[in-house]
């Protein structure tokens, strides 16, 4: 059984899912194995044809229209907005509007207030009149839900830049925060790297409180324009909300009396911090939001648009744009070439492409060139650890991540590279770095060690999603799997990771998915790792997980899980079948020794029947996670690499485990 929504209430409605856009490749009399072989051949050809001449793969990274709206607002703020860009962005934004006038943050999801407000304002910038039907529907929906006053802090910051909201009605974020020592609560290294990179420039914006003349009023987005921000009662003093509300009031007072010399010094320190972290391509952290706020902060501090730092920063933002055939322009929140390339390499190798195939060697060459061998922000907590990780993006030397590093090592081990010494040296360095990034509880997070303080999430300012980086089951599983392939299954550090994973299993047998949707992703990550590390398929934890996966398989044979499972347990394991999520379930079942089971046969059949003529799969649903529920991702390459990996392992068997060089 799967589930959909009625489009308004978000209630779960069971229905039988159906495969879409099917080709003429069906199991027929030949059965699932023969159909899978044909699907693997077609998928392999498709994926090989998508490799860049430099050796990498990159699919579009689709998020939501706030990226596009904020890009236009930035250009309006800087005075560089042009008509062609505005027209193309508006075309994309209009195309994402739902019938009820709203915008969602993921495909098929409910309307979301902040996204709808930002999209509406962007279309006003593009010339759409407030009385046009699509705009009137949006503004009416916004008013019904409390108007701008109920939007997230980031949305109201953008509006404050143009006088559409009062700075006094926003949480205060002083630049003096940078002076908090690393042991002090709420120092900037208590925040996850993505939040840290955003908060530092926003401390400057908060201190400067700039206002550019608004090109039009937004009275239609307030429930009562005369009282745009009705007062809200204070929370109880004894509660965390109450404590931080009162702290915010104190900070607003401090804003008025802050010593001028101290504030100037703090803002200059923030500028140095920002500039030191600008990447070679002009961006910050390889992701769009910190780049946007860093440009604004530096501009407010007197850097003109022709300054090399700002010029490079603005030019980098153009590289986040994806131009579509219809002339629409979509902004990616970030780009994922390292992640896509290592996953594509694993998929092709597991599908039977020879380990010395020129395109795999070329991919390995490119990945080797992307290894980061200098310290970054992670070294604040690990100052003596030798660098050696990989990042997610083209340019992000400050923030390599543990997940990419584990998967790159797994990918490199599948390639017969002619320079074995170079390969082994890079892998050894990556493994050493990953082991050094283990948290105290034995697990691994994405970017930092022991980034688990509960306080940052309590700040009134931090209502935009997850702002800390605690260990997760999916990342830990990928590291454990990599260590197993490196012959380190019995290393005490690996065993601690395994123990943590076993303790984190849910009562239903699944694992929570932090970076993918959701329990299907978590379970699909953990089972292959546990088996690779030596747990027998008969282990109780593995049997419970297998039973759970079988229990949530859709009537059509596929698997799917809606993003609403992060907030509503009724959605756990339920959603329309997708290629990537079906593949994750199959990878888990195959690792658990279920190749000949009916569940695997039905899952393989769903994948082969839903494959398109060109060897690809379609997947409009968002199966990637940035912040659980708050920020969702549709990785356009997931629908290709994961089905190929699963079908490849179904046809050729599981990759071997046992030590360096034996994973191909």
pLDDT tens figures, 600-654? 999 999 999 999 999 999 999 999 999 999 999 999 999 999 999 999 999 999 8
Q: What pLDDT, on the 0 to 100 scale, is given for residue 530?
A: 98
Give tens-digit pLDDT for 318-375: 999 999 999 999 999 999 999 999 999 999 999 999 999 999 999 999 999 999 999 9
Q: pLDDT class for 658, splitting at 50, 70, 90?
A: low
Q: How far apart are CA 588 and CA 603, in angstroms?
A: 12
In contact, 474 and 258? CB cutoff 8 Å: no
The CATH number of the domain where 510 resides is what?
A: 1.50.10.20
- Identify whether 454 is part of a domain: no
Q: pLDDT class for 229, splitting at 50, 70, 90?
A: confident
- Identify whether 641 is part of a domain: yes
Q: How far apart are CA 342 and CA 332, in angstroms?
A: 20
Are 25 and 113 found together in one domain?
Answer: no
Please check the confidence at residue 662 and state whether its pLDDT lies above 70: no
Q: What pLDDT, on the 0 to 100 scale, is given for residue 1?
A: 35
* pLDDT, mean of residues 119-134: 98
Q: pLDDT class for 462, splitting at 50, 70, 90?
A: confident
Q: What pLDDT, on the 0 to 100 scale, is given for residue 407?
A: 98
3-state SS string over 126-189? Answer: CCCCCCCHHHHHHHHHHHHCCHHHHCCHHHHHHHHCCCCCCHHHCCCCCHHHHHCCCCCCCCHH
* Dihedral sign from CA coordinates of 88, 93, 97, 102: negative
Are 33 and 153 found together in one domain?
Answer: no
Q: Give long-range contacts, CB 8 A cutoff, 24+ apart: 138-146.
A: 138/97, 138/101, 138/102, 138/103, 139/101, 139/220, 139/221, 140/101, 141/100, 141/101, 141/102, 141/111, 141/116, 142/113, 142/116, 142/117, 142/221, 143/220, 143/221, 143/222, 143/223, 145/113, 146/113, 146/223
- Identify whether 464 is part of a domain: no
- Identify whether 660 is part of a domain: no
Q: How far apart are CA 558 and CA 579, in angstroms?
A: 8
Closest C-alpha to 431, from 453, 413, 414, 448: 413
Q: pLDDT class for 248, splitting at 50, 70, 90?
A: confident
Give tens-digit pLDDT for 470-485: 999 999 999 999 999 9
* pLDDT, mean of residues 543-549: 98
Give tens-digit pLDDT for 149-169: 999 999 999 999 999 999 999
Three-state secondary-structure class, residue 39: helix
Q: What pLDDT, on the 0 to 100 scale, is given for residue 554?
A: 98
Which helix or strand (DSSP H or E) is residue 78 part of? helix 66-78
Q: pLDDT class for 243, splitting at 50, 70, 90?
A: confident
Are 284 and 340 found together in one domain?
Answer: no
Are 479 and 537 found together in one domain?
Answer: yes
At residue 174, φ and ψ (nearest 5 deg) are: -75, 145
Number of domains within the chain = 2
Q: What pLDDT, on the 0 to 100 scale, is given for residue 97?
A: 98
Q: Mean pLDDT of all residues in the chain? A: 92
Q: What pLDDT, on the 0 to 100 scale, is given for residue 30?
A: 55
Q: Which of 74-78, 289-293, 404-408, 487-491 has the lowest mean pLDDT?
A: 289-293
Active site residue 469: no
Please check the confidence at residue 186 and state whether its pLDDT lies above 60: yes
CA R_g for the chain: 25
Give the residue, 462 or 510, on which the prediction is more confident: 510
Which percentage of the chain shows pLDDT scores above 70?
Answer: 94
Give the residue, 411 or 249, on which the prediction is more confident: 411
Are 485 and 560 found together in one domain?
Answer: yes
Which one of 403, 469, 556, 630 is the catalytic residue?
Answer: 403
Closest C-alpha to 100, from 114, 90, 110, 89: 110
Q: How far apart are CA 586 and CA 637, in angstroms?
A: 18
In contact, 340 and 391? CB cutoff 8 Å: no
- Identify whether 443 is part of a domain: no
- Identify whether 264 is part of a domain: yes
* DSSP percent split of the chain into helix, strand, coil, nearest 5: 50, 5, 45
- Identify whether 452 is part of a domain: no
Are 297 and 345 found together in one domain?
Answer: no
- Identify whether 191 is part of a domain: yes
Are 93 and 23 found together in one domain?
Answer: no
Are 55 and 100 found together in one domain?
Answer: no
Are 221 and 315 found together in one domain?
Answer: yes
Burial of 432 (0-12, 13-18, 19+ CB in 10 A): middle
Closest C-alpha to 293, from 167, 204, 393, 190: 204
Are 641 and 566 found together in one domain?
Answer: yes
Q: pLDDT class for 244, splitting at 50, 70, 90?
A: confident
Residue 236 is part of which domain span?
A: 66-331
Q: What is the pTM of this model?
A: 0.92
* pLDDT, mean of residues 586-593: 98
At residue 472, φ and ψ (nearest 5 deg) are: -135, 160
Are 550 and 608 found together in one domain?
Answer: yes
Q: pLDDT class for 249, splitting at 50, 70, 90?
A: confident
Are 387 and 319 found together in one domain?
Answer: no
């Amino acid at each position: 059984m799967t589930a959909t929504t009625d489009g308004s209430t978000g209630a779960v409605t069971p229905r039988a899912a159906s495969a879409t856009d099917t080709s003429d490749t069906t199991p027929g009399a030949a059965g699932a194995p023969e159909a899978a072989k044909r699907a693997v051949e077609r998928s392999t050809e498709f994926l090989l044809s998508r490799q860049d001449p430099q050796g990498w793969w990159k699919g579009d990274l689709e998020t939501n229209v706030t990226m596009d709206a904020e890009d236009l607002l930035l250009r309006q703020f800087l005075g560089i907005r042009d008509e062609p860009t505005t027209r193309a962005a508006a075309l994309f934004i209009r195309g994402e509007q739902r019938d009820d006038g709203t915008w969602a943050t993921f495909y098929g999801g409910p309307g979301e207030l902040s996204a709808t407000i930002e999209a509406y304002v962007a279309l006003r910038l593009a010339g759409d009149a407030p009385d046009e039907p699509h705009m009137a529907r949006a503004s009416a929906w916004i008013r019904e839900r409390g108007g701008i006053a109920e939007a997230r802090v980031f949305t109201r910051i953008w509006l404050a830049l143009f006088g559409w909201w009062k700075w006094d009605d926003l949480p205060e974020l002083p630049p003096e925060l940078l002076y908090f020592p690393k042991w002090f609560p709420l120092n900037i290294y208590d925040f996850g790297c993505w939040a840290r990179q955003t908060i530092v420039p926003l401390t400057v914006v908060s201190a400067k409180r700039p206002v550019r003349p608004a090109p039009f009023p937004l009275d239609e987005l307030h429930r009562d324009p005369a009282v745009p921000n009705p007062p809200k009662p204070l929370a109880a003093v004894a509660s965390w909300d109450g404590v931080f509300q009162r702290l915010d009031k104190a900070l607003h007072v401090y804003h008025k009396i802050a010593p001028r010399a101290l504030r100037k010094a703090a803002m200059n320190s923030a500028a140095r911090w920002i500039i030191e972290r600008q990447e070679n391509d002009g961006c910050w952290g390889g992701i769009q939001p910190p780049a946007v706020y860093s440009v604004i902060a530096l501009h407010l501090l007197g850097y003109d648009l022709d300054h090399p730092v700002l010029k490079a920063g603005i030019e980098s933002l153009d590289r986040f744009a994806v131009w579509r055939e219809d002339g629409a322009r979509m902004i990616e929140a970030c780009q994922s070439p390292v992640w896509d390339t290592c996953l594509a390499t694993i998929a092709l190798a597991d599908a039977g492409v020879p380990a010395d195939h020129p395109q795999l060697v070329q991919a390995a060459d490119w990945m080797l060139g992307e290894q980061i061998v200098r310290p970054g922000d992670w070294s604040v907590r690990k100052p003596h650890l030798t660098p050696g990780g990989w990042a997610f993006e083209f340019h992000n030397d400050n923030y390599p991540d543990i997940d990419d590093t584990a998967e790159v090592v797994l990918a490199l081990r599948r390639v017969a590279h002619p320079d074995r010494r170079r390969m082994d040296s890079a892998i050894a360095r990556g493994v050493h770095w990953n082991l050094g990034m283990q948290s105290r509880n034995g697990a691994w997070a994405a970017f930092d060690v022991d980034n688990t303080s509960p306080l940052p999430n309590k700040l009134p300012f931090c209502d935009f999603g997850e702002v800390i980086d605690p260990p997760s089951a999916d990342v830990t599983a990928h590291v454990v799997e990599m260590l197993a392939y490196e012959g380190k299954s019995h290393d005490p550090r690996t065993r601690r990771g395994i123990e943590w994973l076993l303790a984190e299993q849910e009562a239903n047998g699944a694992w929570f998915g932090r970076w993918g949707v959701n329990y299907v992703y978590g379970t699909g990550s953990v089972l292959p790792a546990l088996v690779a590390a030596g747990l027998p398929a008969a282990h109780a934890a593995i049997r419970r997980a297998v039973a759970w996966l079988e229990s949530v398989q859709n009537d059509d044979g596929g698997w799917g899980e809606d993003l609403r499972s992060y907030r509503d347990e009724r959605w756990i394991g339920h959603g329309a079948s997708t290629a990537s999520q079906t593949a994750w379930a199959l990878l888990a079942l195959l690792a658990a020794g279920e190749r000949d089971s009916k569940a695997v046969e039905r899952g393989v059949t769903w994948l082969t029947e839903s494959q398109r003529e060109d060897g690809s799969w379609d997947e409009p649903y968002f199966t990637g996670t940035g912040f659980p529920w708050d920020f969702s991702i549709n990785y356009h390459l997931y629908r290709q690499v994961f089905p190929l990996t699963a079908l490849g392992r179904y046809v050729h068997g599981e990759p071997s485990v046992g030590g360096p060089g034996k994973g191909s």
